[in-house]
Structure formats: C-alpha cells, structure tokens
Structure 1
Amino acid sequence: MQVTSRAAPSHFLARLLQLPRPASSQKVEEVLAPKLQDWRRSAGALNRVLKDLKSHKRPDLVCQLVELLHRDGRVRMGLAQYSSGLSACARAKQWQLALYFFFHAMPEGHVDPDTISYSATITSLEKGAQWQLALRLFDSMPESSLAADVIIYNATISSCEKGGHWPRALDLFNAMPEAKLSPDVISYNATISSCQKGGQWQLALHLFNAMPWASIAASIVSYSAAISSCETGAQWPMALQLFDSIREAKLVPNIVSYGAVISACGASGEWQLALRLLGSLHHDSCQPNVISYNAAISSCEKVGAWQWALQLFSAMPQAKLDPNVISYNATISACEKGQQWKRALAFFHAMRDREITPNITTHNATISSMAAAAQWQRALRLFAEMPETEPVPNLSICYNAAMTACEKGGQWQLALHVFHSMPAAALEPDLISYSAAISALEKGAQWHLALHLFASMPTPTRTHDVISVSAAISACARGQQWQRALQLWESMPQADTVSFNAAISACAKGQQWQRAVQLLASMPQADTVSFNTALSAFGPETWQGALSLFRSMPKAEIAPDIGSYNSVLDAACDQDAGYALFLEALQQNVYHQLLRKGPWFLDLHEMSRGSACLAARWWLSTILPPRLQTQKRQKCIIVSGFWHSALWSSSSRLAGWNYRMGPQPVFVANGGYPNSCSGVAPTSQASGQSSAGQSGKPGTPS
C-alpha cells in the first residue's frame, strides 16, 4: 500500500508557518518582502502560496497576506485571491476583515463578487454570530444579478439559527423550492436547530419527520437536533425513541447525541435515566465530556438530588475533566434546592480559588441559596461583591434574591433599599421585585409602606399579578386592616388559593368570622390552610361555629392537621366539647409528641394556647395522679412550644385543678429543654396541689 505524504514546505513557506498565531503585520511583511517582486509580475506563485497555507490550516496567514497585498497596491489581485481571503476569514472567524475585503478591497480593485464571494462572506458573518448583517448581504444579492445557491441559503439559515431568529430561518428554508433549489441535509439540520432553539419543538420534529419524504437521509446531527427539541418540549419519551432509532438508521450515537438525550431526560425530571445514559457512554466508545457531565448534574439539580450532583461533580477530575462555570452553577443550584447553603457557598468560593469567574447565574444561585436559609447577611455580602456589569436579562434575579433574603431575615429596610437601587443599575423592577419587597414590608408589619409600594406598580401589572396582590393583602392583615384587604381582594380579576387564604387571614385577624367563612365557602378549591385560617377567626364566644366548621372538613375532602385542631381548640378550650375534641385528637395521634420523654415530661411543642391548656389539664388529671400514688416526691416538667409562655397568662384555668400530688410541675418557657436551660427552670414546691404558678410568671430558681 502506498502512503502519500505532504511534501516538505519550501524555505519561504516554512518561514511563514513558523510565525506565531496571530503574527504581527511587521513579521509577515519581513517574510513576504523577497517574494513581492515575483508576485507583481505573476499571481500564479501567489495562488500556490495561498493554497499551501490553506492546506497547512493557517487561515490567519491567508487573511494577513491578502490584506497586506491589497494595501501594497502593486500586486494585481483578482477574484481568486480575494475569494481565498474571504474563505480564510470564515475559517479564522474574522468577519470584520471579510466585510473589509467584500465592501472595500474588492470594489477598489474593480473586482465584482460572485456567488463564492457571497457564500464565504455570509459564512464569516454566520461564524461571527452577525445574523442581521448576513441577512442584509443575502437580501442584496439580486442587486448584483446573482442568485443564491444551496450553500448560501444554508449559511444564512445557520446565521439565523445562531441569532435565535427562527421565523426568518423557516422562511428561508421554505423559499428554497421557490428558488428551484432542493434543501439538503445541512438545510434541514440548520432549520431544525433554529426551531429548537426558538422553543418551536413541534416544528423541529415536523421538519425531522419530513426528511424521508424529501429523500434526505438524516445524519447524526439531524438526530441530535431533533432530540434537543424534545428537551425544549419536555418530551423525554420521544427523545429516547429518537435516540434508540439512531442505530436503526445505521448510525452511531456520538457525544453530542448523548448530551442531547441526557439533557432531555433531565429537563423532564428523569434524572435517574439521565445518569444511566451517562454511564452507558462507553458502549459506543464515547468518552464523557464536560457538556455531558453538566447535563447530568443539571438533571439532578432540577429534582433537588444534590448528593448525586455533588458526586458527579467530584467525579469530573477523575475523568480528567475540568469543571467549568456551568458545572459550578448547576452544582450550586442543586445545593440551593437541597437547602445546602454552606455547600453552595463553599463551591462559590472554590470557583475563585480555581480562577473561574462567577457569572450572573452563579450569583443568582448562591444568593438564592442564602435567601432560602435566611442567611441575609451572607446574601447581601455576595450581592455587594457582584462585579459591575451591563444590564443583562438575569441581573434582576440577583436583586430579587437579595430582597427575598432580607424578607426572610426580617430586614424590611434593607429589602426596600435594594428595591430602590434597581433604577441606578438601569434595571426596571419586575413582578418578582415588587412581590419580594412587598412581602418584606408585610413581614415587618409595615402595611402603610406595603400599600404605597403596591400602588406604585404599573396598573396592568398591579391588577394581574396575583403574588404581589396577595402580599399586599397579607400586609393589611398584619396591620388589622381587613377592610383594605378585602378591597384589594375584590380588585383581583381572578383570585387564587394564596390570595383567598390571605383575605381569610385578614378577616380572621379582624375578628370577622362571618366574612372569613363566606370567603372560604366561595373558594373553588379550599385547602387545609384555608380551613385553618378560617377556624382561627372564631373566639370563645363563637366556639360552636368553629366546631361546626371543623366537622365540615371531611365533607370537603380536607384532612384536619395539627393546625386545624389547634385553631378550633383555641376557641373551645373552656368547653367540654373542646376537651372531648382534644381526646379525639389524642386517639388520632395528632399530638404524638406530648409524652415522648415519658409521663413526667409534658412537651407542648407545636401546640397553641388552647390545645396546650387542654393538654396540661389531661396530663394533670389523667396521667399524673395514678403514678403519684406510689411516689412521695417526683419532679414534673412542662416544656412550652412555639406559643412561648402563653400558658402563664392562662394559669387561672389550671389553678382550680387541685389534686393530691407531690411537687409543683416545672415550666421551661420558650421551648428550652431542662438540660439546656439550667438555672431558668422554677423549682419552688407547693404541697397538696399542682398549679401553673399563682403569679402568672415562672418562679425564682432555688
């Protein structure tokens, strides 16, 4: 078998090839100087040099050579030389130089462009993501009495694809038969990709399925583009079907098609399937790359499987792959969804250690992670460290996340400061911005400011944004402004469950139980929160209504939870019916934590004031007496729950429960356990009775 090898380059060509990328104009001129005289006499030798440079993959030198010779003006340059320069510009991604050749150098040299010149220039613009210029040049071809060929159509469609302008790409594709041109596989691939990137997955699949009817055999690029369109449409079964059909078409899946199907499965929450696909890459002799790992990590991130995301990230160095900014962003987002803010922050700092610059997405995910954990100080520190940048689509997310962090940390002043700083960053507050700021004001009981900010929203936004209206209603509820809350609620075109619940809460806090019940009855689909909020509107005087509403929950197919029992028992705790309901709750194991540390330890966590009083009554009357008959002295402990020391204010209810027992129970207020609150638990004794303390506050430690 004969083996052909490339001839050794001449001394002149060797000197050219030794020049660095990019080479300075001065160095190129020094090497060219001995040849200029020959080229001025005949361009044949020049053509050979241009061809040799192309074969040695030095388009940068071809560009410089053509540019220098044009500026020299003494070498006659024709269409062949300029076409070589234009083609080299496309390969070297020098679209500005291509425009210079096409619009300045060629007219100055009285050289008219042909279809090859147009094709090379449009391709240069496509490579440089200059889709508007590519379209303008394409549309100007009739002025030169030239008709575009398939290559020019393909380059222009590809430029539209890169520019995200799918309608024009589709128009160009559909115009090809009118121009008596038959689209080839490249035409289909570029148009399918354009539709996929534009979110038009149905069109993309339609084009793919039309290829056999046009007698066009789909390539692996066609399959990859079609599979990617399934990711856009969350059609993971179709993506798998297309992936499996690659082998039926006698093609071999490559790393791009694997990455596409992994992303499609991950986008639909099928993260385990995505991981299996990543593990099967070796079956097709494919080595995982950064893109495939990123797709797998993103699939874990979308479902909050942060442990798997971390494991994949840790496996990248073992696969001799360096994580990039997308790898870090996906992993940080996974930590955010898994409420692992410390890990998210560690990855953020690790990026800087590896000299990887965090982008807006990185800051968004990390600040959001801090916000979810109420780490408002850290969130604001990261927010302040963000580099100054031009306004970008995702920049407002950072501001919104910072405001959310302030809201969760109870820092309404700081949230308002972040909100008002958005215009200085050339950002217009969006719906989420307003909602986050209003929610922060609501949490801070600043209902006046919340309503003022709500009123400042653009009218179309204000009337149609359910989240911000609900936040404003909640702010009114905190300020005991139930009338204003109802006015806001009535202004909504269509209320959702959250806004209904906010309005019911406002009525409940305003002791308007009738209106609360009316709102509940008008809800299309009430939930447990709706009933619990309405139940909280009832007081001791209307306990029968609370009990009746509670009993109606099963009819509405709503299962009562601990909040439901707490709300109704707050209203009925002085009634026998209330005590009977409490005993019913015990049978349902609602208050399973009461005696979790034994009969001498009453744990009132998660209980309201009314349910806690009934629990104490039950404990003192049912649990302790039989056990104290055999005990002379026994330390008894009550731990209060989220209602803090509200039981002390109800001590009169317990004072009448007199039984012959040992020492007075010890109360540890505000949820502290004895082993962590030494010195604060009262230990004063009273013989003959057990009372909650006559002074209404904890006793003095002995």
Structure 2
Amino acid sequence: MSSTPNPSPIIFDFPHSTHSPHPKSSNPAFTTHKTLISCKESKSKGALEEKKKVVFVDYDNGKHQVSTHVSGLRKADIPKHYRLRVEADRFQKDWSVSEVVERLLKLNHWDDVEGLLNRWVGRFSRKNFPLLIREITQIGSLEHSVQVFRWMKNQKNYCARTDIYNMMIRLHARHNIVDQARGLFFEMQKWRCKPDAETYNALINAHGRAGQWRWAMNIMDDMLRAAIPPSRSTYNNLINACGTSGNWKEALNVCKKMTENGVGPDLVTHNIVLSAYKRGNQYSKALSYFELMKGTNIRPDTTTLNIVIYCLVKLGQNGKAIDIFNSMKEKRSECCPDVVTFTTIIHLYSVCGQIENCQTVFNTMLAEGLKPNIVSYNALIGAYASHGMDKEALSVFNEIKKNGFHPDVVSYTSLLNAYGKSGKPEKAMKVFELMRRNHCKPNLVSYNALIDAYGSKGLLTEAVEILHEMERNGVQPNIVSICTLLAACGRCGQKVKIKSVLSAAELRGIKLNTTAYNSAIGSYLCVGEYDKALSLYRAMRTKKVKPDPVTYNVLISGCCKMSKYGEALGFLDEMMDLKIPLSKEVYSSVICAYSKQASVLARSLLIVFL
C-alpha cells in the first residue's frame, strides 16, 4: 500500500509461535514480513465546506451581497462503478451543490424538478444530500424543498438523517405550517431517526410561531421524557411561544423554571420576555423588568431599547423615549438606532401632533443611510392622515411606489383616512376602488374609515350602504362601525335612524361599550330627544358599562343647550359621586349651567318683585 508521512503508519509486527504456519527458520534467506497500513487524507474534505464570495458591492448606496458556494462531492469523488456509468452518458452533469440549487430555483415547482436532479452526478454520493437540503432550505423555497426531499427519499443510496429532518422542520416553521412539521417529526421516527435537542427546538418554534403555546409545552414534556436535556434555545423558543400568544404569565413561569434548572438567561431571553410583556400590554412591567436587567452583566441591544421606547410611548412618557433615542444616536458603537427605532419615534410625534418632527425624523433616517420599509412609510402617511393633510399623505404614498415597494392595506387605508379627515369622501372612495383594482383586499379598518368619511359629511345613506357592502363581502362590522354610524345620525338629525343602528348592533350581537353609548346619547341630544338620551344613560348604568368624562360632558352640555340646567347640575353630582375627574369640557359646561341657572333665577325674582 502507499505510504504517506502524515498521518503516521500503523505497523503490525506478528510474534513468532510454534503454531505459526511459517516458523522462524535459520535460513538467512527467510525474512519476516511486516504489514504497513496507512490512511490517505480525504480529497473531499474541502468539498463539503462553504466558500464565501462577494457577488455585488454598491459603494454609493452602501450595499453588498455575499453568497456562499458549496461544491459538494463531484464526479471524481463518487464510487468508481457510478463514475463509469455517468461518463458514458452525455446528459449527466457534474454540477456543484450550489449550481444545482440555482438551477432548481429557476424552475417552477410544477416543472420537471426530478428530471433536473436525475441529471446531477452528485446524486450518487449520499454525503451531498444534507448539503443540498441545507442550501435550498436556507433560501426558504418551501415547494422546491419539499420536492427535493421527496425525490431524495426515493434514491437507492439515501440514508435518513436527523439533521435533514431538522432542516425540513425548521423550514416548515418559517412558513407557519405546523401540521406538516409535526408530520415530519413522526416520519423521522419511522425511518429510525432519533430526534435530538435541535429537533424538539424546531418543533417548539413551529408551534410557537403559530400561537399554539400549549402544544409547545407538551413537546417540552416529551423532550424531558426522552431524557434529552433542554438547552437555552429550547427555553427561549418556549418562552417566545407563550409570549407571542399573549400569555406573558406563563412565559415568566418558563423563565423561572429555566433559571431553577441552571440554565441562565441571555440577551435573547431578556428580549423575548420584554416582547411578551409588550404583547400582553403590560408596559409598566416591561419597564420594571428592564430596570432589573440593568443590574446584570448583559448589555441591552437595539432590539431591547426598541421595545422600551415602544412601551414608553404607550404609557405617554414621550420625553423618556426621546432621551433613549438621542442616547442611541450618540453611542452608536453600543446600540445604533435602526428602522424600527425611527419608525417608533415617527409614531410618537404623530400621537403628539408634531407632524413637522415626523418628517424630520424620516429625513434623518434617510440621511443615516437606512432604507425605510413599508411600515415606516405607513407611519408617516398615518401621521399626515390624522390631521387631514391629504396632499402630503398622497406625496408619501407615491414615494412608496417610486422606491419599489407595493402599498399594502395599511397604506391604502391611511390615504383613504386622510381624504376622510379632510372632508373629501369622493376621493376616499376612489382610493378604496384603487385598492380593490390592485388586488389589495380591504379589511375592517378600511371599511370603517370609508364609513367615517361619508358619515362625517352627514351622508348617512352612503355610509349605511357601505356597511351593507362590507357584510356582503364577508367583513363583519364591529363596535367602531356602529359608533361611526351613530355619530353620523346625530349630524344628520335623523332620530329614527339612531334606533335602527342600535337595533342593528343588537341583532349582530355587538355589545355597546362606553364610546358607543356616548355617541348614541350625543346623537339623541342633538335632535332634542332628552328622554331617549336619559333612558339610554340609565340602560348604560344598568348594564354596568362605566361612564367616563366624555359621557357626562355630552349629558351636561346637551342639557345646557336644551335649557335643562337643573338636570345638568344633577349629572355633575353623579359624576362627583363616581369620583370621575372633571375635564376642561365638563368645567366649561358646568360654568355655563351655573351662569344660565343664575340668570333664570334672577329673572324670576324680578318678575315676582314687579
């Protein structure tokens, strides 16, 4: 056999024995043979490694694309009898794994995918199969990956492997296809592949993305019964499964169990817990958890601070949110603001009514070299729409298409709302029709915005027709739709329609909330129906729907307009008994009631005196 200096050869020196068929002889011509066995280095070692190469660099825009090239085992590496077979066939191609994937992606999933794979020489080496699955699953093409996997299982030299199934389960998790992911889990066991920690992690992640946190918990129990110790990724996936489902309490329990089992949380864990608080609308708890996080050796990253800024905005602590944003811009080496950060700040200024700052932040984002996404554009359109600035909103909407994005349902709805707020229902309807022509299906918010556009102009008939149209299209109205119609009835002065809208809500099983009662009471008072408004208010109290300052402001101001000053002051007493804080509007209405009542009393005394 051939001898190589590295690795060292293995030498077997057989001892002489009386039972040996070749006993030692005194004849000097007879010599003892030593067997030398050496191992050659594998030629295919480098073929299985990824080689990165830069394909495209754009220095002007600061962009680059890096692709990986995987050679795999080629014709020279496959067994000799296969090599002789393919050399005689001119249709067999010695492609690399990356070239095979590239050619597969050029095909439609209904094309002859198997025909292309059957021309690939590398199929005769089973070591190429996991490389092929890894390459095509990383790209994320589900249809092609499923077809390749099906073809692979029909090959004679295929050997089922756990890592191949893990990659397929992760791919189905990315596409939120839970049933198929679970099916692969059971299939791999039929093929005698033992699930490992990565398998369970992928399956927990699949159910977590689908919001099935109870399934994820059961899979964790199965993992423990199989005597597979959970890793940090296992716990993180399970916490994320609970958090994305809005079950933040269960997420905390898993985090506590994680610490008790000696697996310390990392930055990903902390971010998942903060996200769970955020999804559960527990903004104060998220900020408290962030303060505890500061006491650890784990430094927050951009994702952490984005969640904190979001929670501060929701709590109305805009000053603190701006301070964190400014500190991120100053300390770029630690946490650099990204598109999500800038988008949240745009929303902050929109809520505050500082529209100029919204555009300034958007321009700063562009100056920083960040490319806005569709959410950023929608936030800016929404800011303009909330103030009825339809021209500016249309300008941003056109920018979306210029920059290669496709407007989504939020983009169209925000532009529609901008025309509605500016009192242009006809243009709002044109946007609505444009949305449908571009195959963008209107949602409930879109219909409500269109109803409000017509209702705010007193066009009640058109608003009701839109309500009927949305029901015909399978979109069920909600309490916002009812509130919008009730407010429109008040503007039009059609008291008969108010009762019809209330009956329609009851017929559809829509329970009136405080806002709906406020709209209905205000509409009755606008048309002079004090008794019906009072009856509705009593029904509101009977059904234990808690009134708010707006309720009493509507009642007190309505009574003043109808010269019922005593009743207005009576509602003030009820408001004080319920310890509802007085707003500026209530103060104004009460002062008006007191002044009017005093003038009436003075006039009565004057008549008596005369």
Equivalent residue for 1:116? Answer: 163
CA distance in 1, matches of 2:457, 2:171: 52
Are residue 60 (structure 1) and residue 86 (structure 2) matched? no
CA distance in 1, matches of 2:549, 2:572: 21
Counterpart contact for 1:304–1:335, Cα < 8 Å: no
Equivalent residue for 2:322? Answer: 275
Equivalent residue for 2:409? Answer: 360
What's the offset of the Cα at 1:166? Answer: 2.9
The counterpart of 2:552, out of the listed 513, 523, 527, is 527
What's the offset of the Cα at 1:364? Answer: 2.9
What's the offset of the Cα at 1:127? Answer: 3.3
Are residue 143 (structure 1) and residue 190 (structure 2) matched? yes
Q: Which amino acid aligns with 2:362?
A: F
Equivalent residue for 2:443? Answer: 395
Secondary structure, counterpart of 1:177 in structure 2: helix
Equivalences for 1:430-445 in 2 at 5 Å?
430-445=478-493
Counterpart contact for 2:458–2:488, Cα < 8 Å: yes
Equivalent residue for 2:457? Answer: 409
Which structure has the higher relative contact order (CA within 8 Å, separation 6+)? Answer: 2
What's the offset of the Cα at 1:243? Answer: 4.9
CA distance in 2, matches of 1:448, 1:94: 57
Are residue 293 (structure 1) and residue 342 (structure 2) matched? yes
CA distance in 2, matches of 1:500, 1:551: 10
Deviations 1:582-623 (A, max 9, x none): xxxxxxxxxxxxxxxxxxxxxxxxxxxxxxxxxxxxxxxxxx
Secondary structure, counterpart of 2:458 in structure 1: coil
Counterpart contact for 1:60–1:92, Cα < 8 Å: no
CA distance in 1, matches of 2:600, 2:292: 72
CA distance in 2, matches of 1:260, 1:538: 51
Counterpart contact for 1:53–1:61, Cα < 8 Å: no
The counterpart of 2:476, out of the listed 421, 428, 436, is 428
Secondary structure, counterpart of 2:235 in structure 1: helix
Secondary structure, counterpart of 1:119 in structure 2: helix
Deviations 1:614-661 (A, max 9, x none): xxxxxxxxxxxxxxxxxxxxxxxxxxxxxxxxxxxxxxxxxxxxxxxx
CA distance in 1, matches of 2:292, 2:83: 51
Equivalences for 1:141-180 in 2 at 5 Å?
141-180=188-227
- TM-score normalised to the size of structure 1? 0.62
Equivalences for 1:143-542 in 2 at 5 Å?
143-236=190-283, 238-240=285-287, 243=290, 249-281=296-328, 282-283=330-331, 284-337=333-386, 343-388=392-437, 395-457=443-505, 459=507, 461-462=509-510, 464=512, 467-468=515-516, 471-472=519-520, 475=523, 494=543, 496=545, 527-538=552-563
Deviations 1:459-483 (A, max 9, x none): 3624555555654555555556666
CA distance in 2, matches of 1:134, 1:552: 62
What's the offset of the Cα at 1:40? Answer: 7.2
CA distance in 1, matches of 2:342, 2:246: 23
Secondary structure, counterpart of 1:280 in structure 2: helix
CA distance in 1, matches of 2:598, 2:241: 65
Counterpart contact for 1:230–1:239, Cα < 8 Å: yes
Aligned sequence identity (%) = 18
Counterpart contact for 2:166–2:198, Cα < 8 Å: yes
CA distance in 1, matches of 2:172, 2:573: 69
Counterpart contact for 1:368–1:405, Cα < 8 Å: yes
CA distance in 1, matches of 2:601, 2:289: 67
Deviations 1:503-548 (A, max 9, x none): xxxxxxxxxxxxxxxxxxxxxxx73443343455557xxx8x5798
What's the offset of the Cα at 1:400? Answer: 0.4
CA distance in 2, matches of 1:231, 1:300: 20
What's the offset of the Cα at 1:402? Answer: 1.5
What's the offset of the Cα at 1:567? Answer: 4.9
Secondary structure, counterpart of 1:102 in structure 2: helix
Counterpart contact for 2:470–2:477, Cα < 8 Å: yes
Q: Which amino acid aligns with 1:397?
A: V
Equivalences for 1:601-680 in 2 at 5 Å?
none
CA distance in 1, matches of 2:523, 2:426: 24
Alpha-carbon spacing, 1:245–1:498, altered in 2? closer, same or farther (3 Å): closer
Counterpart contact for 1:231–1:264, Cα < 8 Å: yes
Alpha-carbon spacing, 1:171–1:112, altered in 2? closer, same or farther (3 Å): same
With 70-79 and 160-169 compared, the bigger mean Cα shift is at 70-79
Q: Which amino acid aligns with 1:454?
A: L
CA distance in 2, matches of 1:17, 1:548: 79
Deviations 1:338-371 (A, max 9, x none): 6656544443344344443332222333433444
- TM-score normalised to the size of structure 2? 0.71
Alpha-carbon spacing, 1:276–1:568, altered in 2? closer, same or farther (3 Å): closer
- Tell me, which stretches of 5 or more residues in structure 2 are unaligned? 1-42, 57-70, 85-92, 107-112
Q: Which amino acid aligns with 1:441?
A: C
CA distance in 1, matches of 2:82, 2:211: 42
What's the offset of the Cα at 1:407? Answer: 1.7
Secondary structure, counterpart of 1:358 in structure 2: coil
Q: Which amino acid aligns with 2:558?
A: T
Counterpart contact for 1:258–1:277, Cα < 8 Å: yes
Alpha-carbon spacing, 1:553–1:489, altered in 2? closer, same or farther (3 Å): closer
Q: Which amino acid aligns with 1:167?
A: R
Secondary structure, counterpart of 2:509 in structure 1: helix
Q: Which amino acid aligns with 1:351?
A: I
- Tell me, which stretches of 5 or more residues in structure 1 are unaligned? 1-6, 21-31, 502-525, 581-702
Alpha-carbon spacing, 1:111–1:350, altered in 2? closer, same or farther (3 Å): closer
Counterpart contact for 2:140–2:171, Cα < 8 Å: yes
Equivalent residue for 1:563? Answer: 589
CA distance in 2, matches of 1:567, 1:248: 56
Q: CA RMSD in A?
A: 4.6
CA distance in 2, matches of 1:406, 1:374: 8
Counterpart contact for 1:454–1:468, Cα < 8 Å: no
Equivalent residue for 1:82? Answer: 129
Q: Which amino acid aligns with 1:446?
A: Q
What's the offset of the Cα at 1:152? Answer: 0.6
Secondary structure, counterpart of 2:200 in structure 1: helix
Q: Which amino acid aligns with 2:346?
A: I
Counterpart contact for 1:310–1:331, Cα < 8 Å: yes
Equivalent residue for 2:61? Answer: none
CA distance in 1, matches of 2:470, 2:266: 48
With 199-208 and 65-74 compared, the bigger mean Cα shift is at 65-74
CA distance in 1, matches of 2:227, 2:568: 80
Secondary structure, counterpart of 1:288 in structure 2: coil
Q: Which amino acid aligns with 2:450?
A: A
What's the offset of the Cα at 1:325? Answer: 1.5
CA distance in 1, matches of 2:512, 2:575: 33
Equivalent residue for 2:139? Answer: 92
Equivalent residue for 1:687? Answer: none
Counterpart contact for 1:569–1:578, Cα < 8 Å: no
CA distance in 1, matches of 2:474, 2:221: 41
Alpha-carbon spacing, 1:404–1:554, altered in 2? closer, same or farther (3 Å): closer
